[in-house]
Each structure stands twice: as structure tokens, then as C-alpha cells.
Structure 1
Amino acid sequence: MKLKSRYVAVALSLFAVLGLVGAAPALAKTYTIKLAYVVPETQSTHIAAAEVFKPYVEEASKGQIKVELFPNGQLGGDRQAIEAVQLGTVQMTIPAAAVLSGFEPKFQVFDLPFVFKSKEAAYRALDGELGDRLAETLLPLGLRNLAYAENGFRHISNNRAPIHTPEDLAGFKIRTMENPVHMATFKALGANPTPISFGELYTALQQKVVDAQENPIPLVYTSKFHEVQKYYSLTGHVYAATVLLMNEPFFASLPEDLQKVVVEGAVRYRTYQRELSQKQDEEMIAKLREAGMEVNELTEEEKRPFIEKTLPVYDQFADQIGADLIELAKRAND
């Protein structure tokens, strides 16, 4: 009887242990976000991703989300990265908003020449109704816009002479993105726009495939274009936004609490990145001068002929963009 009682006790103990195991919660599912972009580690996009977005998302998700960063175009240029996000092979990217015009023509509103008079005006447009309406156009493409950040105002560098008037650009072979509005803008100014991918630009300038290029201050400095370009003219002809894009099915697959973590991480990223971008503008223009680049800033009076010569670009793209969206962009300057 004692032996039988012992067997019963052992059996009951085993059932109790198994019961506890069965009651133990399952391990929380984990997710990995591959985040790709073309800029180097010294540029504000990467710094904000590394110092704000990645640590916040990983900590706030209690380790359920891991963020892997791929700077320097490791996973391809902006267009390739967007396509990879659409396919879901990459979960996130931070491309120039201008590249999105190849996916949704309405995004060309941001590329209209001199449409924003200041960064503050651009922020009002991006964070308001205009930005929201454009973000909605991406959802059917499998893309979710989490926030708009920035590269800054675009300016022109070249190896011939400082740019003060549109006539100074006559005959220039200038590298642009593969963006119809950018190309139309420089044609209106008398230049010869030549699309070249960003990753190939330094070599193209070095080998004199093109005479000039146009990019924001931090990208010019961090990409070392001052090594192959002598003059930098602060024309501010286009404000360049960036977009935090996520694969929409991936976002939808996240539990609601983790979706909130990602959205909050994007907002924190945007705020920090914009502040850092403005700081880098000031610091890096000084460094470009120290490196021997001749920098000139156009006065409002000097800008006027550029604005007048590029006004036909608005009419050229009004049907593709929508007159209502163009008006929303202009209204941000008020």
C-alpha cells in the first residue's frame, strides 16, 4: 500500500508540474526591422536613426522589435530601397521625398522650385493637411509614411564660377535626381540636367561627366563633394524632405501596442533629425569654407530672376500634382 501511495504522490507531482508548464505564458513574438538609406554615418539621417529611433523602439518594445541599420546605400539607392520595402524584403527606408514622385506623381509638389520660403513653412506643409493627403496615396502602394524629416534646401555646386544669375547656368551639365520637376526646373534655367544615382555622383564629378550638382549642405559635406567641386552657391531652389517609409503589411502585422511604439519612435526621430539637420547646416557650411570651397549666398533680389524663369514649371505639372495640393503648399508660407 505504501508503494502504491508513493506512485500516486509522484503522479500527482508530475501532473502539477505539467500543469504549471502548460499555464506558463508563451514567449512574446519578436520582429526585425531592416532600415536602409543612402546617406553616410555622419549625416543627420543616420545619426537620428542610431541615437533616437533604434534605441527608443527597441527599449519601448521591451526587445520585441530589433532595428538593424543599413547606411551608405548598402541595400541599394533610394528607388531600390523603396521597391524592397514594397516587396517586404526590407521593412523600412528613409528616401528623399523627390524619389517618391516616380511612384506617386502628386509628391512632385515638394519639388516645385522655390515653393517654400523657409524651413518653417515646409514643416507646416509636411506636418499638416498636405503631408497627410500625400501619405494616404502611398497606402495602396504597400507603403506607410510614418513621418517627414529633411535633407534641407538644395543648392548648386560647380567647377566653373559662382552662380549669381540664371545666365550663369547656361550650358551647365548638372546632375539631378531622376525627377521630372527637377529636370524641368534646370531646363528652364538654361542648364542641361543629367540624372545620375547618388552613389555614382562623386565619381561622375571627379571624372567630369557632369559640371555641377545640387544638394543640401550636409550631403555636400559628408559626401566630400568639396574635394571635386570648387564653388557652392546657396540658391535654395528646392526644399528636400525625406520620408520614413514602412512596409504596410509589416506594420499591419504588428500588435497595436507595437504599432504605437513605431509611430512614436518615428515622431521622436523626426523632431531630433530636423534639429540636427539645421545644426549641421551651420556647422558644415563653415567646414566647406575651411576646406577651400568658395561659398556665395544669393540675396532675395538675386533669387527673383530664378523664381520668374521657373514659374512655367508650375503650369507644366499642375495636372499631375493637382492645383489644390499646389495651393496647400503655397499657403504654408503665410
Structure 2
Amino acid sequence: MNRFRKAAIGLVLSLVLALAATAGFAEEYVLKIGSITNETHPYYVTFQKVFVPYIEEASGGRIKVEFYFNAQLGGDREMVEMCQFGALGMDCATPSTLSGFDKRFQVLGLPYLFPDKPTAFRALDGELGQTLNSYLPAINLYNLGYFENGFRHVTNNRKPIYSPEDMDGLKIRTQENPMHIAFFRAVDANPTPINWGELYTALQQKIVDAQENPLVLIYEAKFYEIQKYVSLTGHVYEPTMLVTSKIWFDSLPGDLQEVVKEASRRFCEAERKLIHEEEQKARARLEEHGMVVNDLTPEQIAVFVGKARKLYDDSRSLLGDEIVDLAIKTTAKE
């Protein structure tokens, strides 16, 4: 073998080794996603059908997704804290949970802030949502999109709710959100914050008589087994936020950050459509399981709205005029 052939073979081997080394150093990233909801909820379904296929294909397999649903890692607060420290990549977190980290997120808990879903989407995708997002990097988080659970409604074992008088003395579980608590006090109920993971047992043991959640969660949690009435009060619209660890996201190269952003956008868009479909099914399913579901007339809702309005003025000293005024301006129905 002459020296020129040896040199050629050596060059080929060097190129092969260089390519192998390059492929070996294509770093992979693991995205851990947590939620208190279970694997039949629209969150999980949409992640599996939309988010995962896109992110794995667009990243060329460099991002692998792991799920920790059904409160495997604890409640929402625990998972948000994990995101802050980079132990979890994403959490499906509610503004109520985030209000424990920055009180201004309580503005989304103002009762009857959103008259309907199109208004909510416009405000959250626009100036209101962007302003709230800007508060998160200071606490080591990003929000990559608003999706939803729907409007919150009251269930109880006492009777259908048509008026504030029907709420008098009702022991109702709420989230740890001062706005929610203040609203139920305004209608003479007895609000009691209880962790989601303990709620079913609390209702079963009659520690509380009632709770309030969107229809899909009411069905998924099987509250029909221990609650009789569902009253469609629609007192709070429940957005959910794709809260993302700043530590994890900033560790990604720029091209993969764009992949995650686009996957998140597609996820939120698809989840909103799916949750709307599932809400319609959830009502029918709850009735099939024996729950009595009652609508309220616009006039009956207006009485609740009147009770809630004082909270808007009271909230200014806590949250600041700027965010309250912005919320009111951007949620006015067109």
C-alpha cells in the first residue's frame, strides 16, 4: 500500500470519526411536564396528539418529553416551585397558584371579569396576557401560552343555586385565591381553601358541602359520586398557563427554543378547541350519572355580578390600579 493510498484511507477515517463525534455531541434535552389532572383530561390528550409529535419531529429527536400527571409530583404550588429551580420543565398552572408568587395574577380571579370565551382569548393573547407574562422572569419562570379549563361552576349537596341567598352559609371549598374567597364571602357562603388532592375526601367526609370547578374537572374528578347539584354560575373563567422553567428553557439552544415556542402555540390552540367539545360532553355525562344540572338566567347572573363589583374597587389597593384598569379595559365585550 503506497503512502498516497494510506493518506487517503487516513483522511476518510478521520472524516468518519469526525462525523461520528459530531453526531455523538448533538445534545439531547428532557422536558418534564407536570399537572394535577389525570391522563384522560384534555391537557394530556392534547399533549400526546399535538405537542409531542411536533416537538420530537421538529427537534430531530433532541427533545424528549416525560409526563408526570395526576399530581404525581404534588400540587400546583409544588410543581411551580420545581419549575423555578429547574427540576421540572413545564407545569399546567392556574393563575390562582401563581398569585401566591406574584399577587397581580389575582386579577384573573376577579368574578365575572370575562363575559365569554372569545373575549377571554382576545385579552389573554393580547395586552393583558402579555403584561402578566412580563412579571414571570423575575421569579424564574416563563409563560408559553394560555389554554383553559372553562368557566367555574358550583356543586353541592344542599340544593340548586339560583341566587346569592342560596349560597347563605354554604361551606364551599375554594382555591387559595383571595379573590375567590372574597367573592364567596360577598354572597354569604363560607369559603374554605383545600388542596386539590384532598378535595374528594373533604367532600366525602362533609368537611365542606360544596366546591367550584369547570365541568370537565367536575366529571374527571368523579364528584358525581358524592355531589348532587351542579349550578352553572360561571363566576370565574379558568385560564391555565403553560408555565415553563426559565432555567430549563434558557439552557436550550436558540433553534430548540423556537421549537418549544411553536409546539406550545399549537398545543394551546388545539386544547382550547378540545376543552370546548369536552365541556358539552361533560354536562351530559354528569346528568347521566345522576347529577342535577341547572342553568341561571341572565337576570339571575346579574345579581351575582352586582355582588362581585365591590371586589373590583377593593382589589385596587392590593393589585394596583394599572393591572385592574387594564383587565377591565381589555375584557370589555366588543
Secondary structure at the counterpart of residue 22 of structure 2: coil
Secondary structure at the counterpart of residue 260 of structure 1: helix
* Number of the residue aligned with 1:96: 94
The separation in 2 between residues aligned to 1:290 and 1:77, in whole angstroms, is: 30
Stretch deviating more after TM superposition (320-329 or 259-268): 320-329
* Number of the residue aligned with 1:19: 14
The separation in 2 between residues aligned to 1:151 and 1:177, in whole angstroms, is: 14
* Number of the residue aligned with 1:161: 159
Question: Is residue 179–residue 311 contact of structure 2 (8 Å, CA) maintained in 1?
Answer: yes
* Number of the residue aligned with 2:245: 247
Alignment match of 2:118 (pick from 103, 114, 120)? 120
* Pairing 1:1-334 to 2, within 5 Å after superposition: 6=1, 8=3, 12=7, 15-24=10-19, 26-27=22-23, 28-331=26-329, 332=331, 333-334=333-334
User: Where in structure 1 are there 5+ consecutive unaligned residues?
Assistant: 1-5
The one-character-per-residue Cα deviations of 1:69-127 (angstroms, maximum 9, x if unpaired) are 11101111111100000011111111122211111111111100111100111111100
How well do the aligned residues superpose, as a CA RMSD in angstroms? Answer: 1.5
Question: Is residue 86–residue 142 contact of structure 1 (8 Å, CA) maintained in 2?
Answer: yes
Question: Is residue 125–residue 328 contact of structure 1 (8 Å, CA) maintained in 2?
Answer: no
Secondary structure at the counterpart of residue 94 of structure 1: strand
The separation in 1 between residues aligned to 2:116 and 2:323, in whole angstroms, is: 18
Question: Is residue 156–residue 214 contact of structure 1 (8 Å, CA) maintained in 2?
Answer: yes
Opposite residue 88 of structure 1, the aligned amino acid is G
Opposite residue 23 of structure 1, the aligned amino acid is A
Opposite residue 275 of structure 1, the aligned amino acid is K
Secondary structure at the counterpart of residue 233 of structure 1: strand
Stretch deviating more after TM superposition (9-18 or 135-144): 9-18
Q: Quote how far apart the aligned CAs of 1:314 are.
A: 1.3
Question: Is residue 116–residue 329 contact of structure 1 (8 Å, CA) maintained in 2?
Answer: no
Question: Is residue 116–residue 330 contact of structure 1 (8 Å, CA) maintained in 2?
Answer: no
Q: Quote how far apart the aligned CAs of 1:8 are.
A: 4.6
Secondary structure at the counterpart of residue 67 of structure 2: strand
Q: Quote how far apart the aligned CAs of 1:254 are.
A: 1.0
User: Where in structure 2 are there 5+ consecutive unaligned residues?
Assistant: none
The separation in 1 between residues aligned to 2:250 and 2:146, in whole angstroms, is: 20
Secondary structure at the counterpart of residue 232 of structure 1: strand
Opposite residue 268 of structure 2, the aligned amino acid is R
Opposite residue 214 of structure 2, the aligned amino acid is P
Question: Is residue 140–residue 246 contact of structure 2 (8 Å, CA) maintained in 1?
Answer: yes
Q: Quote how far apart the aligned CAs of 1:10 are.
A: 7.8
The separation in 2 between residues aligned to 1:56 and 1:8, in whole angstroms, is: 50
Taking structure 2 as the reference length, the TM-score comes to: 0.95
The separation in 2 between residues aligned to 1:89 and 1:171, in whole angstroms, is: 42
The separation in 2 between residues aligned to 1:256 and 1:242, in whole angstroms, is: 26
Question: Is residue 85–residue 247 contact of structure 2 (8 Å, CA) maintained in 1?
Answer: no
The separation in 2 between residues aligned to 1:316 and 1:49, in whole angstroms, is: 39
Question: Is residue 148–residue 272 contact of structure 2 (8 Å, CA) maintained in 1?
Answer: yes
* Number of the residue aligned with 1:3: none
Secondary structure at the counterpart of residue 26 of structure 1: helix
The separation in 2 between residues aligned to 1:317 and 1:32, in whole angstroms, is: 40
Question: Is residue 232–residue 296 contact of structure 1 (8 Å, CA) maintained in 2?
Answer: yes
Secondary structure at the counterpart of residue 112 of structure 2: coil
Q: Quote how far apart the aligned CAs of 1:313 are.
A: 1.3
Q: Quote how far apart the aligned CAs of 1:53 are.
A: 1.0
The separation in 1 between residues aligned to 2:323 and 2:94, in whole angstroms, is: 19
The one-character-per-residue Cα deviations of 1:137-159 (angstroms, maximum 9, x if unpaired) are 00111101000000110000000
Secondary structure at the counterpart of residue 151 of structure 1: strand
Q: Quote how far apart the aligned CAs of 1:222 are.
A: 0.7
Q: Quote how far apart the aligned CAs of 1:169 are.
A: 0.7
Opposite residue 11 of structure 2, the aligned amino acid is A
Opposite residue 262 of structure 1, the aligned amino acid is V
State the structure with more CA Rg.
Answer: 1
Structure 1 runs of 4+ with >2 Å offset: 6-19, 319-334
Taking structure 1 as the reference length, the TM-score comes to: 0.95
Secondary structure at the counterpart of residue 134 of structure 2: helix
The number of equivalent residue pairs is 329
Question: Is residue 84–residue 247 contact of structure 2 (8 Å, CA) maintained in 1?
Answer: no
